[in-house]
Structure 1
Amino acid sequence: MALEEHEVDYPSSSSGSARRWKYHVFLSFRGEDTRRRFIDHLFCALQRTGIKAFRDDEELERGQVIKPSRLQAIEESLSAIVAISPNYASSTWCLEELSKILHCKKELGLHIFPIFYDVDPSDIRHQRGSFPEVFKKHEEKLPQDKMKVQNWRDALKEVANLSGWHSDNWHHETKLIEDVIEKMRSKIYDKLPFDSQRLVGI
C-alpha cells in the first residue's frame, strides 16, 4: 500500500478543521552531513514506496534568509523527517525549519519522525558535546536576539525527547531506512481519508 499523491483535506489535531496538504513528508537535514548519501537514499526509497517527499536541493548560502516556500512546504506536509546530524545545530536555517516544524506539530497535527544521525540524542537533550559551543556562536552573532537562540535550544531539546531512530543502532542504512518508512506508513496511512488510499505495486 502507498499514500495517494495528491492534495486531500486532512483534519488538524488542534482544531478539528480540515487543511490542505501537498506532501506526505518534509525532509529537514543538514546538506553537508547527509545529502549525498543518507538523505538521497531515503528520498529515493520514499519515492519508490509512493510517499511524496519535499526535499530542497538548493543549499542556502551564508547570510541568506530561509525561503518562504521552504516554510510553506512544512505547512503543506502531513509529516516531517528531521535528520539531526553533527552539524545540524550549526545551521540557523535548520533551526528555523525545526522551530516551524514543531509549531506545525502543535497547531496542525504534523507528525515528526526524528532520526539522530551520528549524534547521540542524549547530548542534544542535555546540550552536551559540541552544542554549548555552537549556541555560544549563535548568541555572539545574534546579540540582540537571544530569545530566538533560546527557542532554538528548546526546539532541539523537544525533538530529542520524541521517539525516533539512532543511526548507531543500525549496522546497515538500508535497514534503518526500511524501518523509518514502515513506521511512517503505520502511523500516517491509517489516518488518511479512505478515498485517498490506493493499492500499488512496490
Structure 2
Amino acid sequence: MDGFSSCSSSMAAKTAAAASSSDWKYAVFLSFRGEDTRNNFTSHLYKALDQKGIETFMDDKKLRTGEEISPILVGAIQRSRCSIIVLSENYASSKWCLEELVEILECKRTKNQRVVPIFYNVDPSHVRNQTGSFGEALSKHEENLKIKGEKLRKWREALTQVANLSGLHSLNK
C-alpha cells in the first residue's frame, strides 16, 4: 500500500492548499475502465477517499448529463494533483482510457503530478509488454479503428511507462 498511502496521505495534507491554488481543483483523478471496476473496486476506492475528505474526480460523480466528455476529462486530469490508474483486464480496450493515460503521464512529466497505478487482477508485465488482453486490445484498435502511427505509439509508450511505476498489485485469479 506504499504508493496509495503516500498519495492519499500527502493529498489529504495538501487538499486545503490545492483548493486555494488556481492550478489544482482535485486532489485525485481516478482513471478506470467502467465496465470492469466502476461498481466494485473503484466505487469503494472513491468512497474511501471521499470519507477522508480527499477531493476526487470520478467521471460518474462529477460529469453532468449532456456534457462533452473529452474536454472535461482532460481538464480534470490537468487540475488534479495525483492520478490513480486502475489497470484492469479491459482497460486498454477503451480508447478513452488510453487517451486519459497519455494525458496523465504528460501531466506527470510537465506538472510533476503523482501517478499511482493499481494493477487490478492483471500482471504488470502484460501491461508493460502489451501482451494478453492489453496486446489483444491494441491489435483490435489497430485493425477495427484503423489507429496507426503516432497515436498507437503513444498508447504503447504510455502503457510501458505506467507499468514501470511503483504501484499496487492485485492478482486474485
Length-normalised TM-score, structure 2: 0.82
Tell me the CA shift for residue 66 of structure 1: 4.5
Q: Which amino acid aligns with 1:106?
A: R
What's the secondary structure of 1:78's corresponding residue?
A: strand
- The structure where helix makes up a greater share of residues is 2
Out of 149, 159, 162, the position equivalent to 1:159 is 162
Distance 1:131 1:67 in 2: 22
1:92 and 2:104 equivalent? no
Distance 1:83 1:140 in 2: 25
Equivalent residue number for residue 54 of structure 2 = 51
Q: Which amino acid aligns with 1:153?
A: R
Check conservation: 2:36, 2:89, Cα contact below 8 A.
Answer: yes
Return closer, same or farther for 1:110/1:68 CA change in 2, 3 Å cut-off. same
Equivalent residue number for residue 148 of structure 1 = 151
Equivalent residue number for residue 71 of structure 1 = 74
Larger radius of gyration: 1
Tell me the CA shift for residue 125 of structure 1: 1.1
Aligned residues: 154
Could you list the runs of 4 or more consecutive aligned residues of structure 1 that deviate by over 4 angstroms after TM superposition?
none
Check conservation: 1:26, 1:80, Cα contact below 8 A.
Answer: yes
Distance 1:89 1:123 in 2: 11
Equivalent residue number for residue 65 of structure 2 = none
Distance 2:149 2:69 in 1: 19
Length-normalised TM-score, structure 1: 0.71
Percent of matched pairs sharing the same residue: 52
Check conservation: 1:66, 1:93, Cα contact below 8 A.
Answer: no
Structure 2 unaligned blocks of 5 or more: 1-8, 62-67
Tell me the CA shift for residue 126 of structure 1: 1.7
1:101-151 alpha-carbon deviations (Å, 9 max, x no partner):
000000111000100001000111122212222111111234364220121
Q: Which residues in structure 2 correspond to 1:1-202 (within 5 Å)? A: 2-3=12-13, 4-5=15-16, 7-9=19-21, 20-57=23-60, 66-143=69-146, 145-168=148-171
